[in-house]
Structure formats: structure tokens, C-alpha cells
């Protein structure tokens, strides 16, 4: 199938192999003549990043590169990026990379024209309205992983080192104006990271689908995203050069991030504090918690899981069919079954439970989460007992 296409939902997306060649044109269409290319240290050294920068330079654009970003980004990464942007006289941002680079790039563009601290714009109530929208620079997003879907999102996740917590910074204008989604840029991603980012996309679709409330558009997008993941994730982990599978997973990742405007839930609520304290990979952490939260929510998502199993063409469509599919994928991808294996210690349970219930994603869980519930989920995921 030919996956090359343009669509708007509402971001203008240029999708297909080789579309990165259109980066200079995308800059020009937004009036960006001095872009700051924001990426992470690993990608900064790769030919694909250097080629993209060179193409912009050859088109007469004044390109700068900022890559001082942690895998779980923190406020300093944003403030340093804003300083680099202003020092270089840049008038737009190209966020190029995985979720961390995309999030930081978006928040740099957002904070470049703000006078308040970044934490004043945490996604609580209408705090986003405090921002000066005229101070937000145009953003182009270029994803190199198929996981977070941050390229189509209106927020960035940034760690607050003083509180050891992750915060969601939100504003409608953080959404990139143009996305260049080129599956060739994901080909070099190692198999383990391909699996972890793919499980992140699954967590987004799954939690959005299970979140309470009436949002049939989000439900439909989440369902189709999970179908693409079932079709392509195994293939792309087995063969990273499979462009069709890379394309399918890039689409699924964007669909997950589009769908979760409906809500997320306990998987992310538990994963965020663990990532903040232990610097674990977000997709991997989501994958570890996923089945425990599913079982906790079983009594209210059972019917939804039967519909999902039917859509995925799983044998004997049921909650258990979906659970077994996920458990089998985790085993196939060598994803640990317990949080003990990713460094979580029993002594941290009280702190993690308090952080989880306070996380903004906790409110989207199908069953209202208490601190005691979060502690129980930590205990189960530490022992490896699914609680069936």
C-alpha cells in the first residue's frame, strides 16, 4: 500500500517516505527563515539530522541546532533552549526526534515569548490562558520514533527536578503547524526502542478508548490505532527496515496522541512518577504497568475490551483475549513483568502512590483512583501478581 499522503487533523501532516526533503519548504510556508533545530544528543550526531540541517542551509535558512536534552527532559533543558533560540535570533522551531525532543522543542517555542515561569502553564484548569499567544513561535515537528505522537499534541511533558515529578505544559498553540512524518527516519531505531515506543502508542490508544465520557471520534481513532499496532508492531520489531510497518506504526502513534484528548488513566499516572524518579523509558514503563491497570479496571471495561478484541480479530473475543495479546507481546519483546526489574523499590511505594493519584492523567481512569488503589497497584506490579 502507498502510505504517502497529506492530511489535516487539524495539524497539516505530510506523511510518507522521503518527505523530509520538504523541510525547507515547510519552514518557508510558515515564514521561518532562522529555525532552531531541537533534537537530542544521539540524533544530533546522525546523518539524518545533519542532512536536514544542510538542506535548510542550502535553501538559505539560518539554522541553529540545540541538543542538550535528557531522555526524560527537565526545566533546564527548556530554559537553555530558549536562551539558545534568543541568542541565535531564531524565529521558529523544528522539533526533530523522539518524544523528548518533540516535547522540549514545542515548549521552547512556547516559552520564548512568555514572562511567567513554565510551571504557571501546567495543564490544570485554564492555566494555559495565562500565556501570551503572540509570544509562541511556529513549530514544525519531525518524529523519528513511533510512540508518543507528540508531533500532533498540544502539550509537552517536562520534569520538575525540585519536586521529582513530571508536569504537563499545555496550550492550544503548542500544537505544531506542520508535521513531516517520514518512516525512513525511524528505520535505524533499535528493536528494543521500537518495541518500547510501540507499546507507548498502544498505551495511549488503550487508555483513550477506556477513558469515561462520550467522545466517539476519539474512540474510533483509538480502535483503528490499535488495529494498526496489532498488524505492524511485531513486523517492525522483527524487521526494522520494513517501511510499510514503519509507516503503519507512525500513523498509529499519531492516532494515539489524537485520541487521548479524551483522557488517559492509571497506566500513565503510575508511569510518570516512576519515570521522574528513576529516569526509565516512558514506553517501557507504560508496558510494565499496562496489564495490572487493565485488571484493576476490568469490571467497567469488560464490554469495551470485547469490542476491541472483535475489532482486532482476536480469538474468542473477550477481556482475557486482549489481556493475553498484551502479555504475549510483552514476553515477545522481553519487557519485564515487574517494576522491581526496572529499579522500583518497596520503600518508595508511599511516595509513588501519592504522586500517581495527583498526576493529571489519573482523572481519566475508568475507576476513580485513590492513593490506596495506586499503592495496591504498585504492590501487585512489584510482585508480578496480576490479581486475576
Averaged pLDDT, 284-297: 98
pLDDT at 264: 97
Domain locations in the chain? Answer: 5-185, 190-383
pLDDT at 312: 98
Give the confidence band of 233 by pLDDT, cuts at 50, 70, 90.
Answer: very high
pLDDT at 218: 96
Give the confidence band of 74 by pLDDT, cuts at 50, 70, 90.
Answer: very high
Distance, CA of 103 to chain centre: 9
179 φ, ψ (degrees, to nearest 5): -120, 130
149: left (phi over 0), alpha (psi -120 to 50) or beta: left
Task: State which fold the 5-185 domain adopts.
Answer: Rossmann fold (3.40.50)
Task: State which fold the 190-383 domain adopts.
Answer: Dehydroquinate synthase-like, alpha domain (1.20.1090)
Neighbours of 376 (CB within 10 A): 16
DSSP state of 59: T
pTM for the model stands at: 0.94
Question: Is the dihedral angle over the CA atoms 162, 67, 82, 52 positive or is it negative?
Answer: negative
The answer on pLDDT for 319 being more than 90 is yes
Amino acid at each position: 500500500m502507498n502510505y504517502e499522503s497529506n492530511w489535516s487533523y487539524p495539524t497539516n501532516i505530510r506523511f510518507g517516505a522521503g518527505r523530509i526533503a520538504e523541510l525547507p519548504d515547510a519552514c518557508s510556508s510558515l515564514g521561518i527563515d532562522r529555525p532552531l533545530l531541537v533534537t537530542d544528543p544521539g540524533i544530533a550526531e546522525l546523518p539524518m539530522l545533519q542532512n536536514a540541517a544542510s538542506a535548510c542551509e542550502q535553501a538559505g535558512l539560518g539554522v541553529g541546532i540545540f541538543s542538550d536534552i535528557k531522555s526524560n527532559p527537565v526545566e533546564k533543558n527548556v530554559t537553555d533552549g530558549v536562551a539558545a533560540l534568543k541568542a541565535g535570533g531564531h524565529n521558529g522551531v523544528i522539533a526533530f526526534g523522539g518524544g523528548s525532543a518533540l516535547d522540549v522543542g514545542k515548549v521552547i517555542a512556547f516559552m520564548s515569548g512568555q514572562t511567567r515561569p513554565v510551571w504557571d502553564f501546567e495543564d490544570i484548569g485554564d492555566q494555559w490562558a495565562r500565556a501570551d499567544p503572540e509570544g509562541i513561535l511556529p513549530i514544525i515537528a519531525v518524529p523519528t520514533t513511533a510512540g508518543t505522537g507528540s508531533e500532533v499534541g498540544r502539550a509537552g511533558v517536562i520534569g520538575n527536578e525540585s519536586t521529582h515529578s513530571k508536569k504537563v505544559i499545555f496550550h492550544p498553540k503548542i500544537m505544531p503547524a506542520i508535521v513531516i512524518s517520514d518512516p525512513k527516519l525511524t528505520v535505524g531505531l533499535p528493536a528494543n526502542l521500537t518495541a518500547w515506543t510501540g507499546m507507548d502508542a498502544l498505551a495511549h490508544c488503550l487508555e483513550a478508548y477506556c477513558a469515561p465520557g462520550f467522545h466517539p471520534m476519539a474512540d474510533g481513532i483509538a480502535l483503528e490505532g490499535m488495529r494498526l499496532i496489532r498488524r505492524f508492531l511485531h513486523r517492525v520489531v522483527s524487521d526494522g527496515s520494513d517501511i510499510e510497518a514503519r509507516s503503519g506504526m507512525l500513523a498509529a502513534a499519531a492516532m494515539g496522541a489524537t485520541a487521548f484528548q479524551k483522557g488517559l488513566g492509571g497506566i500513565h499516572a503510575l508511569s510518570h512518577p516512576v519515570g521522574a524518579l528513576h529516569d526509565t523509558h516512558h514506553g517501557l514503563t507504560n508496558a510494565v504497568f499496562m496489564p495490572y491497570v487493565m485488571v484493576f479496571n476490568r469490571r467497567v471495561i469488560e464490554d469495551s475490551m470485547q469490542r476491541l478484541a472483535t475489532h482486532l480479530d482476536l480469538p474468542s473475543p473477550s477481556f482475557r483475549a486482549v489481556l493475553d495479546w498484551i502479555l504475549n507481546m510483552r514476553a515477545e519483546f522481553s519487557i519485564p513483568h515487574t517494576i522491581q526489574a526496572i529499579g522500583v523499590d518497596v520503600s518508595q511505594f508511599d511516595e509513588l502512590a501519592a504522586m500517581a493519584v495527583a498526576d493529571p492523567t489519573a482523572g481519566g481512569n475508568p475507576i476513580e483512583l485513590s492513593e490506596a488503589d495506586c499503592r495496591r497497584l504498585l504492590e501487585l506490579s512489584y510482585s508480578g501478581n496480576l490479581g486475576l
